[in-house]
Structure 1
Amino acid sequence: GVYGSTELTIPSMYTPHGCFVHLAQEVKKHVNIPVITVGRIKNPDHADEIIKEGKADIVSMGRSFLADPYYPEKARKGEFSQIRPCVGCCLGCIHAVLAKEPGSCVVNPDVGREYKLKDETRPEQALKILIAGAGPAGMAAARQFALQGHRTIICEQKQGSGGLLSLASKAPGRGELNDIIDFFKNEIQRLDIEIWYDTKLTLDLINEVNPDKVILATGSMPDMPVIKGLFQTKMDLVTSVDVISGKEQVKDKVIVLGGGMTGLITADFLAEQGKQVVVLNRKKSFAEEMSSNDRYYLRERLKKGNVTLYKNVSVQQFTDDGVVFKSNGDKISLKGFGSVVISEKHISIREAKKLESKTHVPFHLIGDAKSPRHLMYCISEADEIARSA
């Protein structure tokens, strides 16, 4: 087959689990040798079901075993919640390799550097670690610190875990990102890690806990650009975080400023609600931080929605109900819009770093609090800081 008639050979999270099983099932009707099937099969129950129903004789899992090389043993023991899940993001296993970089895995940063890892032995002295932020970086760090034998406490100023990743999972086709959050939640419970919600990192809290280290995993927030007319427009001005969280509603005609991954998944989110969406990308390419396999499916979705994409955009001015800009040399004027969604750069949230000068405890920044980037860096930095304790 070709990509016009079936899924990519390495499909992303947008594709259904077992997307190639029907092909193996048909082949099995015509041959007398064992048939192996593949294609986003990640749940042990699903794999068992395929074999029991005679659709294939063997199930092959590639990325699931990269995400967790102990998958078979955990599945055999029925420890399904401890299996570290592949989410089909294609960043470490495919995107990095195509870019001629070392292959790895977003959820398992050990991949590709196993030779560097020391034998995991209990430390001579257990440390007390206080982590600010229960997003993916904070939870990953807490898990790894606990595995190293240290006592770990997470404080989270909101009522809930996941950070911006939990918002990203609300976009169409990206619900599987929640599997990472669920895995870390299960691990935090299994390892008896304390997590205090509705608790902001303060000097009083640091003095009360008296930790040996403070890890800031406080995340990031959208940055508001300075563009002529943007703050004078009569259109509603909101961020992608406001929109996807449900905090703000937008009008029927929407301008999304930003053509990165967040901008495109926000456009998809709004298009699915029936909104007419225009995306203004001031860069030359869309969603460069996504893997090409993942981006392919998102771009195909946007073609079906009421979404118009512009790149190489130079915004001249926002007006009361629209925007004037140039794209690839052409001057374009849009009118009749009711909302502008800001979805470009993010800035780190580091206000708590000021507390370091008032205490003897050393602070460390990880994840978006260090620098807003994609998920692979957040989780790998979390593992690294814990292993180096």
Structure 2
Amino acid sequence: MSTAFPHLLSPLRIGKLTLRNRIVSTGHDTVLPMDCQVSPALIAYHAARARGGVGLIVLQVSGVHETARYTSHALMATDDSCIPGYRALAAAVHAEGAMLFAQLFHPGREIMETADGMQAVAYSASAVPSERFHVMPRALSESEIAALIAGYAAAAWRIRTAGLDGVEIVASHGYLPVQFLNPRLNLRTDGYGGDFDGRLRFLREVVAAIRAAVDTDCVVGLRISLDERDSEGLQQDEALQACAALQEQLDYVSLVAGTSASLGGAVHIAPPMAFPAAYLATPAGRFRQALSIPLLLAGRINQPQEAEQLLAHGVVDACGMTRALICDPELPNKVARQQPDAIRACIACNQSCIGRFHRGLPISCLQNPLAGRELQFGVLTPASTPRRVMVAGGGPAGMQAAVIAAQRGHQVTLYEATEQLGGQVLLAQQLPERAEFGGLITNLQYALRAAGVEVVLRRRVDRTLVQQQAPDVLILACGATPAIPRLEVGGSLPVHDSWDVLQGASVGARVVVSDWRADWVGPGLAIRLAEAGHQVTLAVNAPLMGQALPMYVRDQLAARLHQLQVAILPYARLYGVDDHTVYLQHTASEEAMLCEDIDSLVLCQPPQPDDALRQQLDGLGLEMHAIGDCQTPRTAEEAIYEATRLAWQL
């Protein structure tokens, strides 16, 4: 056992089951099921994490009733046809030494979509609307409640019959069980409402029905938000009271935070990098003092050091490290081998995990494109013929391509024109609460060293160098350069590019940030300038600020911009400037929009691909591939994916 992580790697007893360690992949949507059943892609995804050494995998939610279809790609455990898929998944996970639980789920009023695009009929304890999805539910009758409780029990029986080790009742994030428990949502006057015992009755009967449906070796747990972080949501004392009342019926409690019902509460479902690591440790400590059964905790626990500290201090008994395991499935094995520095650390960018889910796309990871694509990529194999590979550009695309190519056995040299690897990430990490984004480069630098890539800094690749080195393959990863838009200029208003401001250019007291990109750069600069005392207007060429961002990142930024009193102008196309005025045009009405008494304009415009080297080398007859922003500027996700796909095949 690693001396650095004795608690994290120690076994844990839950019910009659023993986990090999205390690292948990908690339930999370993947968009990998097919026809609402377990698919080969879902099996391959979880098998990879089991192979990586995780102790417990909790499967994404499984609907317990036809009214529980909260998305068109949820798992459903409502009839026996689901059993073979669950059985195949359990066999794959067990073969790698991990345990597998399934989440039993009903969203109540928190319904996102239906398969045919129609608005769903939603059900809840009472007819109280959901603010986030703008859904008005209808109150469940007592006979409907009985049918739902029977659905929980039948789903648990099917899942246990398939060979899974346990089930987890989802009472977190404002879903149906806590719609009964929450006195602000449960307005019933029958036996399922009123005082605490009445509001707890639904959840208590669900647990009892599940217990009656499965054998005594089956683990039964509860997932609940320790605080929904919303004025109308379940409060910490209420959640704690419910857990204490139910603990004799349960084998464990799994704690998270937040609610699906509001924008501010939903941010905590997958808290972005603006939140501190392990930020729920203090409130979780209250639950630890009140409960005698095992306690799991999730919420920005991205590093084994953080998990070890929580366990060593007795805050919890196991740690949900879900996004960390998406990013690096081998995290537990690397900890066991005493190689924590080799872990590809999650940066909580949310771009490819929860961000892809919100776009209806299968799960992946910005840093680990293999996540969710295990069947597509397969196992990395040595190249049949090692080749000399030259990589031009040391941003994320070039670094990733160099790593994968070297891992396949090629002789790789990476050239970077500046004195530091990282490309635009070096700028991105300077934005407020984005410093962790720099972890992407830290991870890639470690991988470069481990793969044996030769790195040459302060050397720009040109035609002469290529002819001298005569590589078998040249990978162009030259990135992009700032582009100045066409403007009507009628005065001397200072105009700065965002890159210049991040590198220290000074701006005046009253600033317009013109945000064409609608991503994190514009709001990040606006926050940075506002925190420095500038009066800032963020003019966004999109219907809303952060339109291109994962919603939890966007909503966290929106909260901070509001706190700093940054004025936001949507639908704003930049047109021109004079001495103290920025002229904009409303993109829908085409009417003029003026920002007057302005001292500086900051541009967040689309950069242009750096295509100079490709043009220099035209006609050289060399095998050449372009990846990332030098193809066309996009995000680090596309850059790293393209680099991986190319180098995988060289």
With the shorter chain as reference, the TM-score category is over 0.9
CA distance in 2, matches of 1:4, 1:48: 30
CA distance in 2, matches of 1:279, 1:127: 49
Q: Equivalences for 1:214-233 in 2 at 5 Å? A: 214-229=474-489, 232-233=490-491
Q: Equivalences for 1:342-357 in 2 at 5 Å? A: 342-357=603-618
Q: Equivalences for 1:196-207 in 2 at 5 Å? A: 196-207=456-467
Deviation for aligned residue 1:24: 2.1
Deviation for aligned residue 1:84: 0.9
CA distance in 1, matches of 2:308, 2:575: 58
Letter in 1 for 2:604: S
CA distance in 1, matches of 2:635, 2:383: 31
Q: Does the 8 A contact of 2:326 with 2:365 survive in 1?
A: yes
Q: Does the 8 A contact of 2:476 with 2:627 survive in 1?
A: yes
In structure 2, stretches of 5+ residues that fail to align are 1-226, 232-257, 259-266
Deviation for aligned residue 1:94: 0.9
Higher mean displacement: 76-85 or 151-160: 76-85
Q: Does the 8 A contact of 2:540 with 2:569 survive in 1?
A: yes
- Aligned: 1:46 with 2:272: no
Deviation for aligned residue 1:226: 1.1
CA distance in 2, matches of 1:228, 1:139: 40
Question: Residue 94 of structure 1 aligns with which residue?
Answer: 354
Deviation for aligned residue 1:293: 0.9
Deviation for aligned residue 1:277: 1.1
- Aligned: 1:4 with 2:266: no
CA distance in 1, matches of 2:593, 2:469: 57
Higher mean displacement: 120-129 or 164-173: 120-129
CA distance in 1, matches of 2:348, 2:379: 29
SS at match of 2:548: coil
Question: Residue 297 of structure 1 aligns with which residue?
Answer: 556
Q: Give the aligned length.
A: 386
Question: Residue 421 of structure 2 aligns with which residue?
Answer: 161
Higher mean displacement: 4-13 or 139-148: 4-13
Q: Equivalences for 1:261-280 in 2 at 5 Å? A: 261=519, 262-280=521-539
Question: Residue 173 of structure 1 aligns with which residue?
Answer: 433
Q: Does the 8 A contact of 1:263 with 1:344 survive in 2?
A: no
Deviation for aligned residue 1:181: 0.4
SS at match of 1:8: helix
Give the TM-score normalised by structure 1: 0.95
Aligned match for 2:471, one of 211, 216, 220 = 211
Letter in 2 for 1:362: E
Deviating 4+ runs (over 6 angstroms): none
Q: Equivalences for 1:175-190 in 2 at 5 Å? A: 175-190=435-450
Q: Does the 8 A contact of 1:275 with 1:306 survive in 2?
A: no
CA distance in 2, matches of 1:316, 1:43: 46
In structure 1, stretches of 5+ residues that fail to align are none
CA distance in 2, matches of 1:343, 1:233: 20
For the aligned residues, what is the CA RMSD?
A: 1.7
CA distance in 2, matches of 1:209, 1:258: 42
Q: Does the 8 A contact of 1:153 with 1:195 survive in 2?
A: yes
Letter in 2 for 1:360: G
Question: Residue 507 of structure 2 aligns with which residue?
Answer: 250
The structure, 1 or 2, with the larger RCO (C-alpha pairs under 8 Å, 6+ apart) is 1
Deviations 1:297-334 (A, max 9, x none): 11111112242110112445422111233447575432
Letter in 2 for 1:237: V
CA distance in 1, matches of 2:375, 2:279: 34
Q: Does the 8 A contact of 2:582 with 2:601 survive in 1?
A: no
Judged with a 3 Å threshold, the aligned counterparts in structure 2 of structure 1 residues 46 and 314 are, in CA distance, closer, same or farther, namely closer
Judged with a 3 Å threshold, the aligned counterparts in structure 2 of structure 1 residues 33 and 363 are, in CA distance, closer, same or farther, namely same
Judged with a 3 Å threshold, the aligned counterparts in structure 2 of structure 1 residues 118 and 340 are, in CA distance, closer, same or farther, namely same
Structure showing greater radius of gyration is 2
SS at match of 1:357: coil
SS at match of 2:353: helix
Deviation for aligned residue 1:339: 1.2
Give the TM-score normalised by structure 2: 0.58
Question: Residue 324 of structure 1 aligns with which residue?
Answer: 583
Letter in 2 for 1:387: W
Judged with a 3 Å threshold, the aligned counterparts in structure 2 of structure 1 residues 334 and 289 are, in CA distance, closer, same or farther, namely closer
Judged with a 3 Å threshold, the aligned counterparts in structure 2 of structure 1 residues 316 and 116 are, in CA distance, closer, same or farther, namely closer
SS at match of 1:297: helix
Question: Residue 164 of structure 2 aligns with which residue?
Answer: none
Question: Residue 402 of structure 2 aligns with which residue?
Answer: 142
SS at match of 2:366: coil
- Aligned: 1:373 with 2:631: no
CA distance in 2, matches of 1:107, 1:348: 22
Q: Does the 8 A contact of 2:496 with 2:603 survive in 1?
A: yes
CA distance in 2, matches of 1:176, 1:251: 29
